[in-house]
Amino acid sequence: MIVSTQGGNIGQQGAVLIEWNLASSSTSPSGMWDVHTRIGGTIGSNFQGATCPITPTSPKTQTNQLDTKCYAAHTSMHVTPSAQGLYLENVWQWTADHDLDNNDGGNQITIYTGRGLLVDNSKGPIWLWGTAVEHFALYQYEFVGASNIFMGQIQTETAYWQPNPNATVPFKNNPAQYDPVFPTTPFTAPDVPGVQIPNADGWGFRAVNSTLFVYGAGFYSFFNNYSTTCSNQGGGEICQSRIMSVEGTSVVNLYDLHTVGTHEMIYLNGKDIAFYGDNLDDFTDNIAVFRTNGP
């Protein structure tokens, strides 16, 4: 099953595609198999190339510079505090980066979606097997006060249009919805002098006061304003400064982390603790084990 939105004159700034409130027992959980949120890029969605083309040469630093018709969703999926006993398998949550139904084979498009998968549930258990969340402005996976959660083989991609605009422009920070706060100054690194690395691109993974087990994760940032030159290891992995944030009292057990295009692989309570250059492995940068027992 595919869940989508349909745009019009003012887009879909407030759309939440899936909200999961159902409480089931851990011995007889509820779940979704092969259910995907596919936002835009198809006939009938009104979010296609003719309406929402890419504009890499046009600076987007203010909200009034964005086309309101190209706002396609607020949140892909929210697992609320009342949920319990949830199993997801092969669930892909995707903001379209190209037009699937265009005759030229899929031209790139720019549409704006705010948040990927939000879990603020402390009950659990929640299992995520083979899930992916891609191209949302503020974050892909975010866990706030979450516990009793297992993830196997998860994957993200940063929005291809970032940092033009950056994450803070299309969707303003809302503390009541646990939105991340991004730095206001560019990121500079001594190994790439003269280069300012984007410092306000959407998180691939953010955990706040949460307890999580992750077995296999790929957090990818291939593009900088639709250019892939930033994701070349020889060029310093400068698509974005950071992609994974662990905050507060979070306890995270992560095995087999892969990143692309991000300069600092893990950000722990305000400190960069994993540099891509120390973890080179073919195209991706890899860490076998990362564990934290809180602050």
The reply to whether 162 falls in a domain is yes
234's tokens: 């020889």
> pTM of the prediction?
0.97
The reply to whether 277 falls in a domain is yes
Q: How far is CA 237 from the centre of its chain?
A: 18
Q: Given pLDDT bands bounded at 50, 70 and 90, which one contains residue 106?
A: low
Question: Can you give the CATH number for the domain in which 47 is found?
Answer: 2.160.20.10
Residue type at position 123: K
- Do you find a cis peptide bond into 165, omega within 30 degrees of 0? yes
Q: Given pLDDT bands bounded at 50, 70 and 90, which one contains residue 234?
A: confident
pLDDT at 220 over 80: yes
The reply to whether 73 falls in a domain is yes
Helices (H), the chain: none
Asked if residues 54 and 226 have their Cβ atoms less than 8 Å apart, the reply is yes
Mean pLDDT calculated for residue range 139-146: 98
Q: How far is CA 147 from the centre of its chain?
A: 20
How high does pLDDT run on average in the chain? Answer: 95
The reply to whether 58 falls in a domain is yes
Tell me the pairing of strands 203-208 and 139-144. parallel
**Structural domains counted in the chain:** 1
pLDDT value at residue 293: 78
- How far is Cα 232 from Cα 221, in angstroms, rounded to an integer? 11
Supply the range of the domain harboring residue 163: 7-293
- How far is Cα 130 from Cα 154, in angstroms, rounded to an integer? 6
The reply to whether 56 falls in a domain is yes
The reply to whether 255 falls in a domain is yes
Q: Give the list of residues 6+ apart from residue 57 with CB closer than 8 angstroms, or none.
A: none
Sign of CA dihedral 149, 17, 38, 209: negative
Q: Phi first, then psi: what are they for 10, rounded to 5°?
A: -125, 15
Q: Given pLDDT bands bounded at 50, 70 and 90, which one contains residue 103?
A: low
Class of residue 68 by CB neighbours under 10 A (exposed 0-12, middle 13-18, buried 19+): middle
Q: Given pLDDT bands bounded at 50, 70 and 90, which one contains residue 294?
A: low
The reply to whether 1 falls in a domain is no
Q: Phi first, then psi: what are they for 264, rounded to 5°?
A: -115, 125
Mean pLDDT calculated for residue range 132-154: 98
- How far is Cα 280 from Cα 78, in angstroms, rounded to an integer? 34
pLDDT value at residue 104: 61
Mean pLDDT calculated for residue range 251-256: 98
pLDDT at 123 over 60: yes
Mean pLDDT calculated for residue range 277-289: 94
- How far is Cα 158 from Cα 201, in angstroms, rounded to an integer? 7
> How open is the CA angle 209-215-218, to the nearest 5 degrees?
90
The reply to whether 2 falls in a domain is no
Q: Given pLDDT bands bounded at 50, 70 and 90, which one contains residue 273?
A: very high
pLDDT at 150 over 70: yes
